[in-house]
Structure 1
Amino acid sequence: MKEETAVADWSALPEDVIITVMGCLSVLGDLVRSGAVCSTWRDAYATFRRLHLPSTTAQPPWLLYACDAHGPAAAALYCPATGKSLRAWSTGCRHAIYDDADGLFYTLRYDGFVYAIDVPRAAAASSPPATREVMRSVTNADNGSKYLVRVPCSGDLLQVWRFVNYDNGDEVEEDEDAEDLPLGTKHLQIFKVDGVEQKLVEASAASLEDHVLFLGHGFSACFPAEHFPALKPGCAYLADDHELVSVRKHCRRDIGRWDMKRGQMEKLSGEDDVAAPSQPWLNWPTPVWITPTFY
């Protein structure tokens, strides 16, 4: 009689052990594919993503780049760990954010069109990311910078439209004080994205009076004001984000604090700021917001 070979039942592993294993995987595609082993592992993978558990193995950045091979205005993602490239999207993207809650990228076009993109699943299948329309086009005007912002408490997805007046954006003479020049942003419009009704609902200043926004070149963020008591609630802290200022080293800077209730720009100086940086601001390289860390 032929003796049967014992086969390990990997589906019987406790969920905490499976999650620990997932945290040790160094390649994003391997992590996503681990959720397809069986129903038990799929549930563990869902828990891993829902809790946004950190990986114990350092994950390298991915390179997002324009790629003519995939068509006009197309983009691709390159993973330096695997050497593989994935086709991304062809959306004319002006701004993008990553949502920790659902693990999706959200991109915003100049016309208000919003896409949700599932990059992790695409990495597992070595295929173009699944793209879902969240919000259709709402305007034909390429009027100023536009940002996507996720409100942490309510989970609302916002579009922020920034209108800038650069009619007098000439070079600053050497004997002029750039700090005394008026700032360029003239208006902020904030909308809540209603994907069900396919419309933008204008948000009032009162709805964000307990929050602080940060907007700038390639960056947007929203935080509860109580987490940062030294910052002024109900305000958007703005950095330069316009092509006209990125080509000049000594022209007026559009950096300041927008008071959403008053609808006015304020300089980053005075008693409300812990450390008001000195001006004039230089734009080589472009000023950007960063989040410092000690780790």
Structure 2
Amino acid sequence: MKVIMEMHRYAECDNMYIVQAPWGDLLNVWRDAQYDQDTDPETMKKELVEIEVYEVDTMAKGIVEIKSLHDHVLFLGHNQSLCLSARQYPSLKPNHVYFTDNYELWLKGFKGNCRDIGVFDLENNRREELVSPQLWSNWPVPLWITPSIAKMDLGLKKQL
């Protein structure tokens, strides 16, 4: 194992992700949420309020904040995080982050709580619901699924 940088001493966020960008750089993504503390703990909601994106500078062993992904999108979640080109996937919104909650310990204690699933606009720092949280099962934590086209039977095999 090779350490490319130490933990940033000012990193105060609920979740942190390392994502390899299509152009080869590593991105360090910080995600913060807030609790709706005015409700019953059994139905309390934890909701994303901010996402910060940094490029990892391996030579300087630090991070540099970036304000835009331009024509790229991020997917953040419990099992996998990735960065894709919105040009290759035109149904995705460029400079947006698609997220699922990954507050596994939070949900274990409060299984009646809503899910935090949505899309975050990095330009305007606004979130929107992807689907109604009440439609989702509250356990287990939602996952992004990335199918392998090489392993899919698309009916394209050559006939002999």
Q: 2:24 pairs with 142, 155, 161, which one?
A: 155
Name 2:42's counterpart in structure 1.
171
Q: Which amino acid aligns with 1:157?
A: L
Q: 2:141 pairs with 270, 282, 286, which one?
A: 286
Distance (Å, rounded) in 1 between the aligned partners of 2:99 and 2:92: 13
Q: How does 1:1-295 map to 2 (within 5 A)?
A: 131-139=1-9, 143-152=13-22, 154-168=23-37, 170-172=41-43, 184-205=47-68, 208-242=69-103, 243-269=105-131, 279-293=134-148, 294-295=152-153
Q: Pick closer, same or farther for the CA change 1:257–1:159 going to 2, 3 Å.
A: same
Q: Which amino acid aligns with 1:144?
A: D
Displacement of 1:141:
5.2
Higher helix share: 1
Q: What is the TM-score normalised by the length of structure 1?
A: 0.46
Say what the alpha-carbon RMSD is for the aligned residues. 2.3
Q: Pick closer, same or farther for the CA change 1:237–1:136 going to 2, 3 Å.
A: same
Displacement of 1:156:
1.1
Unaligned runs of 5+ in 2: 154-160
Structure index of larger Rg: 1
Displacement of 1:218:
2.5
Distance (Å, rounded) in 2 between the aligned partners of 1:290 and 1:211: 18
Distance (Å, rounded) in 2 between the aligned partners of 1:183 and 1:259: 19
Distance (Å, rounded) in 2 between the aligned partners of 1:239 and 1:183: 12
Distance (Å, rounded) in 2 between the aligned partners of 1:217 and 1:261: 24
Name 2:156's counterpart in structure 1.
none
Number of aligned pairs?
147
Q: Which amino acid aligns with 2:30?
A: W
Q: What is the TM-score normalised by the length of structure 2?
A: 0.81
Distance (Å, rounded) in 1 between the aligned partners of 2:122 and 2:42: 29
Considering Cα pairs closer than 8 Å and 6+ residues apart, tell me whether 1 or 2 has the greater RCO. Answer: 2
Using the aligned pairs only, state the percent identity. 37
Q: Pick closer, same or farther for the CA change 1:254–1:278 going to 2, 3 Å.
A: closer
Distance (Å, rounded) in 2 between the aligned partners of 1:142 and 1:191: 14
